[in-house]
A and B are shown apart, each in its own frame.
Chain A
Amino acid sequence: MAARGRRIDGTACAEPGPVIVEFGAFALILALMLSVLQTGLAATGRWRRSPLLAGGAEGAAMGAALATALAFGALIFAFAASDFSVANVANNSHTDKPMLYKVAAAWGSHEGSLVLWCLVMTGFGAALTRARGLPFGLKASAIGVQGGLGALFLAFAVFTSNPFARIDPAPFQGMSLNPLLQDPALAIHPPLLYAGYVGFSVTFSLAVAALIEGKAFSGFWPAWGRWVRPWALASWVFLTAGITLGAFWAYYELGWGGWWFWDPVENASFMPWLAGTALLHSAVVTERRGALAGWTVFLALLAFTFSMLGAFLVRSGVLTSVHAFAVDPERGLMLLGILGFTAGSAFALFAWRAPQLKGGGLFAPVSREGALVLNNLFLTVAAVTVLLGTLYPLILEAATGATISVGPPYFALTFTPLMAVAFLILPAGPLLAWKRGDLKGAMQRLALAAALAIACGFVGWLAFEPRKAFAAAGLAVGAWLILGALAEVVERVRLFRAPLAEVGRRARGLPLGAWGMTLAHAGLGLFVLGAVVETGFKVEAAAPLAIGGEVHAGRWVVTLDKVEIVEGPNYLAERGTLTVASTDGRAVPSTVTAERRFFPAGGQTTTEVGLDFRGLDDVYVVMGERRSTPEAAQAWTVRVYYNPWARLIFLGPFVMALGGVLSLFDRRLRLAVGGKRRPLPSPPGGEGGSRSETDEGAVSARSEVGM
C-alpha cells in the first residue's frame, strides 16, 4: 500500500485504470470491515435473539461477498490491462502473454490467490445466508463463525499481502508468469481447488455453530447431518475435480509421464480430500440415524483444518515441491498463526462439548452404520498416513537435524495396502441394511460380482506382458469395485428377478443420491484400473533422434519427421512433428507434435508433450534438447512413454465428481440450500405435516422421499 495515492497528477488519473485499482484496494478493505461487522451482528443477534440483527449479519455477509468480488474484478482488470504500476502485475504478468494467462495470472501469485481464497470464502458465506430451514440460533452462529474466518483471511490479505500495492516508478514490462503455469488446465485448476478447500469452511462453521448451540432440541443431529451434507458434497466435488485437473496438468505439462508424485503439495490437497470423503460418509450416518454426531463434527472441523494446513504448507515455503510457485516464509508464519488460532479454538470447543454429544440410533457392528464407521477408520488412517509422510521430514529435521525424503515407496508400503483392504470391503457396505445387516446375504448377492472380478484379474494376468501378480490383483480389485457398485443397483431395481416394467419403475424411483453413490464407487474402480495398468505396464524409451530416426516403446514406434522453429505469442519453440505407428502395422498411424518452448521474458524453458490418444492408452512424446551425436550433426533427445489405460486415471475421478453432482441434485439434499421446497419438518416445533414424529424429522422425511 506504500505507494498508493502518489499518482495524483492529472494525466495518470484521467485514464480509468489507476482509479479501478484504487477502487479494488478500497473494496478489499470494505470486505474486511463487512466481515467483522457480520461476525459482530451475528453474535449480538444470536445473544439477544434478535432477527433484525441476525438479518443485518446476513446483509453484511452478502456485502462482503460483493466487495470481495469487486476487488477480485479490479485485480483481473489490472492484469488484463497490464498495469505494471501494480507490483503484483509487474511481478507476474507480461504484455506478450495471451489474454487467458493474463487473467489467470491474477490467481497465479500469492496475493492474487489469497484474494481468490477470500472470494470463495465470502461467496460461500453469502450462500450460507440463503440456506433454508436452519434454526435461528444455529444459522446466526454459523454466519458469525463464517464471518470470523473471512475476516481473518481478509485481514491477512489487506495487512500483509495487498495485491494492489503500487510500485514507483512503474516498469515498462512485467516479469511474466512462470511458463509452467501458462496452461489452460492450470488456469482453471486453482479456482476449482480453492472452491473445494474453502467450501469446507462452511462445514467448519456449521460444526462450530452446532458445538456452540449444543443439543438444541431432540432430533437436532439428524437435521444437522442433513444441513451439513450438501456443503460437504459440493466442496468434495470441487476438490475432486481440482485435484484431478492438477494431476492431469502435471501429467502433460511436466513431461515426466507421471501424474502423481506424492509430492508434499499434492499431499496438501489430498489430506482435505480424504477428510472430506470421510465426512461425506459419516454425515450420512448422522443424518439417517442420529449416530456418530461427535465424530462427524470432528471431521467437519478437520477437513477445513487440513485445507488451511495445505495453504500454509504451500505458501510458506517449508516444503520443497514441484508445485510451490508462490512462497514467502514470513507470511507462512502468519498463516500458521491463523491456522493455530482457528483450529485450536475449534478443537478446544470440541473437546469441551464433545462429551455431551451422546446418543443417536443404536446399531449392530454388521450394519450400514458399521460399514460406514469402518470406511471412516480407513480414510482417517489414510489421511494421517499422508500427514505423517508430508510433515515427518520437516519435524525430524527441526528436532534432530537429520534429513530424510519421503516419497512414492513409502506410500506404496503404507497407503496403498490400507486402501486395498478398504476397497475389498467397500462393495459390501451399500448392501447392508441400516441398524442390523445381513452379511451372509450381502455376500451371496455379491458372489457373482466377486467371481467376475477374479476372472477379470486372471484375464488381465494372461493379457498383459510381462505377467505381474500384483497388477493382476489390482485389476481384480478395480473390477470388483465397479461390479460391486453395479450389483447394488441390480439388487435395488430387482433386475433379472422382477418383470421389466417393475424394474423400470424401481429404477425411476431410486433417489438421485443412490445413483450418485453408484457412479462415485464405480468411478473409483475405473481409477484403480487405470492406475494399476498404467503403473504396472507403462513402457519408457528415449533416444537421440536425427530427422527420420525412430524409437520403439512397447508396441509403438515413433518416427521424428521434422523439427521446425515456431514463434508463439510469448515464446519460441522447437516443434517436432512425429509419426506414431504400431510395430505390427495394425493400428492407423497418426501424427503428433511435441514442443520445447523457450520463454524469453523469464528465461525459462518448458516442454509441450505430444499426446496420441489410442483408445484408453496414451502414447506420450517429449522433445528433449538438441545435441550432436557421432552419427548426425543435429539430433534431438526424444522420450516416448507408452501409458496403457492412462485415460481411466483421469476419467475415474471425473465420474466420481459426476456422482457427487448427481447426489447434490437429490431432493433430500436440495432442501438445505436455497431450495424453494418446504423447510425440514424437524426444527423445534416445526410443522411435520400430518406426521407426529417431528423429533425424528430427518428420518421421517427420508421415508417419505425415499423410494
Chain B
Amino acid sequence: MSVAITTSKLGKKFGDEMAVSEVTLEVNTGEVYGLIGPNGAGKTTLIRMLCGLFIPSFGKGTVLGFDIERDRARIRERIGYMSQGFGLYSDLSVDDNLRFYADIYGVRDTEYVDSVRSRLGLQDVSGQVVGNLSTGARQRSALAAALVHRPELVVLDEPTSGVDPVARDSIWQLVGELASEGVTALVTTHVMPEAQRCDRLALLSEGRLVATGTPEELISRSGLTVAAVDAAPWREAFAILQRQWPEAALYGTRIHIPFSGGGAEEQAIREALRGLELRSLTWQRPTMEDAFIALASTRASQ
C-alpha cells in the first residue's frame, strides 16, 4: 500500500503560540482521512503546512512523495484544495470560475470539467453568479473547482460547514467515489457523524495528535459506556444529572452520560432521579461524539 502523506514531528509556532506540535501521521493512497478536533485544535494549520501555505517550524513531511518545503510547486500541481474560507470568486458564474481554474491548471479536457460539474449536480446553476447560490451549491462548486485537474489528493477544509444535509451527503458521496478511484482525501470536520464516514481519523486537540485509528477503533479506545436516560420532566432530570455528572449531554429530550468502565453507576442515577418519572435507562455504545469529547478531554487534562 503506497503512502500519500507522511509527517514526522511536524509543528508550527506563531510567535510563542504553539499551533501544531509534533504531529506524526501517515495517510494511505485512496484513503478518506479525517482530521477531527475542536475549533482551534490546529487542523487548518496542519493542512496549510502540508500544502505549502505555511512553512513548518519543526519536523518534516511529504505529500505524494514530495517534500512539503522544497517541492511546493510540484505538490500544488497534484492536489485539489478547498479552503475553509470560500475560495471561489463570488462575482463570477460557476462556469467562469471552473474555466478559470481549468485554465490555471492547464486543463484542456473540457469534457472532464463538464463531467465534474454534472457529478456535483451543478448543471442547472452553472450560469449563475456564485455569490447568489445557496451555501450547498457554493460548496459543491468549490469542490468542482478543486477537482478540474484530476488531483491525486484532495484536501478539503471543512467542506460541509453550513451546508444542508442533502448537499452534505452528495459531497461525502463524491469523496467516497473519488477514493474508490484511487484519489486520496484529507478532510477536516468537527461534525462527528461525518467523521464516521472516513476510513481513518486523526484527533487533534490543542495542536497535539491525541489519537489515530478507524472510527470504530477510536470509539472502543475511548473505553466509554453511555447511560441513556429517558425521564420526565426532562429539563429537571437533566439539571439534576448534570450537577452530579458534568459531562451529561442532551440528545433531544434524552440524556446521555458517558462513563468510563462498566454500569456501576446505574444505582446512583436511579437514586438521583428519585421523585421523577424514569421511563427508561439503557446502556449504549458511545457515539463518535462521546468518544471525541472523552478523548479530547483526557488529553487536555494530562
Q: Are A and B co-members of a single complex?
A: no
